[in-house]
Amino acid sequence: MTNHTEHREEGLEIPYHQLNPDTLRRMIEEFVTRDGADWAELGCSLEDKVAQVLRQLRSKKVKVVFDLASQTANLVACP
């Protein structure tokens, strides 16, 4: 018999509009630059990508989640 424990992420959704605008912007900038992509090479500025994520937050395609286990906040796609 194998002992299998499943990791289950527990998080709280944080309404993006309740975050300090500077904090939200830094979170979005970190999110869009996380993979190291140089958006200028692709014809898109960092400002364009930040605006795109803001639109996704407003249209509820993305949400801010605070993970209780890791004590970190992240942007995640909505199902």
* pLDDT one-digit tens code per residue, 3-31: 444 444 468 999 999 999 999 999 999 99
Q: How far apart are CA 78 and CA 64, in angstroms?
A: 10
* pLDDT one-digit tens code per residue, 32-43: 888 776 666 778
Topology of the domain covering 11-77: Arc Repressor Mutant, subunit A (1.10.10)
CA angle, residues 15, 19, 22, in degrees to nearest 5 = 140
Q: What's the whole-number mean pLDDT along residues 58-63?
A: 96
If one compares 63 and 33, the residue with the highest pLDDT of the two is: 63
- pTM of the prediction? 0.76
The residue ranges of every structural domain in the chain are 11-77
Cα 2–chain centre separation: 35
Residue 12 amino acid letter: L
